Amino acid sequence: MEKIDYIVLAGYFLLLVLMGIWGYTKIKSSADFYTAGGKLPWWLSGISHHVSGYSGAVFVAYAAIAYNYGFTLYMWWALSIAIAMVGTVLFIAPRWARLRSKAGIQSPTEYLATRYNLPTQQVMAWSGVIIKIFDVGAKWAAIGILLNAFTGLPLGTGILTAGLVSMIYITMGGLWADVVNDLASFLIQFTAGIIMMVMVLAQLGDGLNGIFTMWDRLPAAHGQLYNGPYTPAFAISFTVICFFSFSGGTWHLATRFISSPSGTEARKAATLSMLMYLIWPLILFFPMFAAPIFIKDLADPTQSYAMMAMKFLPHGLIGLLLASMFGNTLAMTAADANTISAVITRDILPVLYKKLKSFDQKKMLVIARLTTFLFIVTTLIIAFQSKSFGGVFGLIITWFSALVGPTAIPMILGLLPAFKHSDSRAALFSIFGGLITFAVMKSFMTVSLTAELASPIVTSMIIYIGCGLLFRTKVKPEVEALLNSLKEDEEL
């Protein structure tokens, strides 16, 4: 990069700090810090849900998949998410907003004490926090790789830079700062993505037809819908995981719906995010698909997107593109930090320290900021050890995707009246069944990527639904009342 690129990147860092200061002025309580007081407009919530659903890992690990395997990346990733979110729109998103307005929740796990019991809530809260430490650590590692490719910064320096910037603005501005960053990073990404696609098409020399004729210049398998280990079975497994993850099993995505004013607004937000996953990746991924034409026999495919950007974009726009990728990662990691802090502060610490329940709003806000800070520090430590867990792709796909299912099953299905007979016993058995399945397959078996991805969540689902059907336990009155309250908005 040249001087103008560094100026653009530094300007974005400054903008993030200003967002944090702006968010600070809007926060008077932990409810403002964690859920924006339930005042997020649907369009901002929808954009935030979309942007915070992926990070710089898309431009690193997924760029390598596009370089090696082609169009299948869109099929198993973006299209699978869009299909999965149909269920989110219809059944799940509105219920999260109603939980906040009717039950007063601020964290995604807060309702679980009523839905199941306190021990089940604690198991799910602790499990989710531990899983998220690995997931966010992978995202710091991804942005470190991007900064290294663009600027030559050592990996560790890049990780620390990303972590410190994120730490400043999210601990100050909470959710408000985070969603505004989501909006800004998407606008930058949209501008840079469109320009990148136009520049690549110009170099292909066939006008708009290059979108279709490009595939004749790539390896034949790159134009196939499913290629390599990314089979239709893998895509189906990933779609199932995405339903639970994007519905709120990935907690910071639930927060986008929780922070909506009503169930109707949350449904609009989910619909917008779904449509963005269906359309935008076709543009965003285009340079990744074209990379083998211009950069042949690349030793490290994770750097393919960065090299394409430096090859085709003028200086200034390179810095803008890096800022957008940086913003994406910080948006996702900051969202995770905010939500995990909510779970720790609202659901874990009050059990460990009873007096916390008597703290006033000012003290709770201090606790909220402190837990956010400590979570980020822990994830940075994991980022420095990412190679020990299979690198960025290994952490995101193998560890996070495989582990999120067992904890997400009782959380998401627990919102639906159809599964009201699945009680705390079903929830705990399903969680431990899924985690044990993952541990056994990871430690003692050699299986396909599809089996490794699908087995934990399938095991959990069978146990959770099976226990509900087999035991048909009597539904507690408070559980019945909770589920009935989520059927419609108050104004209806």
The mean per-residue pLDDT over the stretch 25-42 comes to: 85
Give me the residue spans of the domains in the chain.
3-390
pLDDT digits (tens, 9 = 90+) for 209-221: 889 999 999 998 9
The mean per-residue pLDDT over the stretch 463-492 comes to: 87
pTM: 0.85
The residue whose two tokens read 């059907």 is: 469
Q: Which amino acid is at 275?
A: L
Q: What is the pLDDT of residue 492?
A: 41
pLDDT band of residue 401 (cuts 50, 70, 90) is: low
Enter the DSSP assignment of 475.
P
Q: For the chain, what percent of residues have pLDDT higher than 90?
A: 37
Distances (CA, A) of 134 to 333, 388, 399: 11, 11, 8
- Please say if the pLDDT value at position 396 is more than 60: no
- Please say if the pLDDT value at position 168 is more than 50: yes
Q: Which of 263-267, 397-401, 456-460 has the lowest mean pLDDT?
A: 397-401
Beta carbons of 142 and 61 less than 8 angstroms apart: yes
The mean per-residue pLDDT over the stretch 280-287 comes to: 92
Q: What is the pLDDT of residue 477?
A: 93
> CA 213, CA 209: separation in Å to the nearest integer?
6
CA atoms within 13 A on the CB side of 467: 19
Q: What is the pLDDT of residue 116?
A: 94
Q: What is the pLDDT of residue 320?
A: 77
Q: Which of 251-255, 385-389, 432-436 has the lowest mean pLDDT?
A: 385-389
For the CA atoms of 367, 372, 376, 382, the dihedral, rounded to the nearest 10 degrees, stands at 80
The mean per-residue pLDDT over the stretch 62-71 comes to: 91
At the topology level of CATH, where does 3-390 sit?
Sodium/glucose cotransporter (1.20.1730)
Q: What is the pLDDT of residue 387?
A: 62
> CA 383, CA 371: separation in Å to the nearest integer?
19
- Please say if the pLDDT value at position 343 is more than 60: yes
- Please say if the pLDDT value at position 240 is more than 60: yes
Q: Which of 109-118, 265-274, 323-332, 368-377 has the lowest mean pLDDT?
A: 323-332
